[in-house]
């Protein structure tokens, strides 16, 4: 058995794997995964590529494991666990990595088993909700005030995401435990933040692309369906995007259990199978490594 980093010339070997996944997006972006911040590795058995997996760096400190694929003929032999353990250890060799994790859906028990085996703890469930029509939601109340001052925008972010137990949707599909590292000056300037009239709530709207253009809504409070002016502000921002008139631009929410429970019956959102983020900070992972060394 050999594990090594994959290169462009290994693409044919990946194409020859029988993963059972039709039109695999990883194959479409394979060449992009050869360059940083992406790192892709392969596990070989008798010179045949049987598993691939890797990690991508976010905000310079977060390593997200993923792209895990195995040949159907070699499943059940523990190769995926061995590969991701190797990948995680490779990530830990990078001193800038402060957190390592992986994201999977609740209906993928094999991936959950692998992430658990790596010693990564689970975070609360997240439901992705998407729509291009929020007309059924109550849009009463006044439009919220757009915050233009950089210092004020950063203050709102840090007030709501100072606790690492809180998850922040850095990108669609990529939530991370909150830390100031996620809020670079460049990102803060790029993001649009609003506050309500009483200055007790803030709303973050971000542009993203995941197959189609997306307006990513970040709202860390449970009253997402009843807060006056919130959905009028989201709709106004969405309508002002010229791209949505020419393509299927989606509004994307990352919902907690509580937010999902209170969703209005007349909503038009498509709700995903719940996702589970697994992860652990660098210090804890290094402690786990030392304990395993002495076993």
pLDDT digits (tens, 9 = 90+) for 121-138: 999 999 999 998 888 787
- The confidence score (pLDDT) of residue 246 equals 54
Rounded mean pLDDT, 153-169: 93
295 pLDDT more than 80 = no
Rounded mean pLDDT, 138-144: 85
**Which residues are paired to 275 by β-bridges?**
105, 126
227 pLDDT more than 70 = yes
Residue-wise pLDDT tens digits, 21-59? 999 999 999 999 999 999 999 999 999 999 999 999 999
The CATH superfamily of 2-103 is Gcn5-related N-acetyltransferase (GNAT) (3.40.630.30)
- The confidence score (pLDDT) of residue 290 equals 82
Rounded mean pLDDT, 239-265: 84
Between 95 and 289, whose confidence is greater?
95
Q: Average model confidence (pLDDT) for the chain?
A: 93
* pLDDT more than 70, % of the chain: 97
- The confidence score (pLDDT) of residue 75 equals 86
Residue 23 to residues 15, 19, 232, 248, Cα–Cα distance (Å): 11, 11, 38, 21
243 pLDDT more than 80 = no
Residue-wise pLDDT tens digits, 89-128? 999 999 999 999 999 999 999 899 999 999 999 999 999 9
- The confidence score (pLDDT) of residue 240 equals 85
190 pLDDT more than 90 = yes
- The confidence score (pLDDT) of residue 245 equals 53
């Amino acid at each position: 058995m050999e594990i090594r980093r994959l290169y462009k010339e290994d693409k044919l070997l990946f194409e020859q794997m029988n993963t059972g996944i039709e039109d695999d997006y990883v194959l479409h972006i394979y060449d992009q995964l050869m360059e940083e911040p992406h790192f892709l590795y392969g596990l070989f058995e008798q010179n045949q590529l049987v598993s691939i997996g890797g990690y991508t760096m976010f905000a310079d400190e977060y390593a997200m494991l993923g792209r895990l694929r195995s040949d159907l003929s070699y499943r059940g032999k523990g190769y995926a666990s061995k590969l991701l353990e190797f990948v995680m250890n490779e990530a830990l060799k990078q001193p800038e990595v402060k957190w390592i994790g992986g994201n999977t859906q609740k209906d993928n028990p094999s991936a959950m088993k692998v992430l658990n085996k790596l010693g990564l703890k689970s975070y609360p469930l997240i439901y992705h909700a998407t729509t291009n029509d929020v007309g059924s939601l109550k849009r009463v109340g006044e439009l919220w005030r757009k915050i233009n001052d950089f210092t004020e925008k950063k203050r709102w972010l840090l007030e709501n995401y100072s606790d690492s137990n809180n998850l922040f949707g850095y990108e669609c599909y990529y939530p991370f435990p909150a830390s100031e590292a996620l809020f670079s000056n460049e990102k803060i300037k790029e993001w649009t933040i609003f506050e309500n009239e009483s200055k007790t709530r803030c709303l973050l709207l971000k542009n993203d692309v995941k197959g189609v253009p997306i307006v990513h809504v970040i709202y860390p409070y449970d009253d997402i369906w009843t807060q006056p002016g919130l959905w009028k502000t989201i709709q106004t921002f969405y309508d002002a995007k010229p791209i949505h008139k020419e393509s299927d631009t989606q509004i994307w929410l990352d919902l907690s259990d509580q937010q999902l429970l209170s969703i209005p019956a007349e909503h038009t959102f498509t709700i995903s199978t719940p996702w589970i983020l697994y992860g652990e900070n660098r210090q804890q992972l290094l402690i786990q490594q030392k304990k395993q060394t002495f076993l």
